[in-house]
């Protein structure tokens, strides 16, 4: 099954930070697969793509450190200015869900927050490249490396 088939049954797709970095910075190994995913989403209004403000924090740190304002602007435009992409905020409901996920699965806080945003915003698919997150039961996890 190709990547298009892997996402076809899902309409609310949560993206982890790595997948956004691969897409925006045209990663040599994963840029192509993320470009395919985002092309399908862009071309079909039935899909809703989203992430969280945690992604904004994580993607901006390196370009800011390197003085790459061009890349900072690409991230801002994509995460905050795209038609069918939303960056959700963190609130107490997300925080509590993240704490539950951390307790149950012993995962890192940023991962727990990202997953909580996906789950609490009715996501059915979580796109990442972290194989460790496949054990999460509350949302289907798609690991990009498995679809190369």
pLDDT of residue 75: 98
C-alpha to C-alpha distances, 79 to 54, 58, 106, 107, 130, nearest whole angstrom: 11, 12, 28, 25, 21
pLDDT of residue 20: 98
pLDDT of residue 109: 97
Residues in the chain: 148
pLDDT of residue 2: 87
The whole-number mean pLDDT for each consecutive block of 10 residues of the chain, a chain of 148 residues, reads 89 97 97 96 93 98 97 97 94 98 98 98 98 98 96
pLDDT of residue 1: 64
**Three-state SS across 46-57?**
CCEEEEEHHHHH
Find the domain containing 11 and state its range. 3-147
* Domain CATH for 71: 3.40.50.1010
Q: How many domains does the chain have?
A: 1
């Amino acid at each position: 099954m190709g990547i298009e088939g892997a996402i076809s049954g899902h309409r609310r797709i949560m993206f982890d930070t790595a997948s956004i970095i691969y897409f925006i910075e045209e990663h040599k190994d994963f840029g192509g697969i993320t470009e395919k995913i985002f092309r399908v989403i862009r071309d079909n209004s039935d899909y809703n793509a989203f992430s969280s403000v945690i992604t904004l924090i994580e993607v901006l740190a390196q370009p800011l450190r390197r003085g790459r304002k061009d890349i900072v602007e690409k991230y801002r435009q994509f995460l905050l200015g795209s038609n069918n992409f939303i960056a959700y905020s963190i609130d107490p409901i997300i925080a509590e869900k993240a704490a539950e996920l951390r307790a149950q699965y012993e995962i890192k806080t940023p991962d727990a927050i990202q997953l909580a945003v996906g789950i609490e915003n009715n996501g059915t698919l979580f796109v990442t490249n972290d194989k460790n997150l496949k054990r999460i039961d509350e949302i289907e996890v798609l690991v990009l490396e498995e679809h190369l």
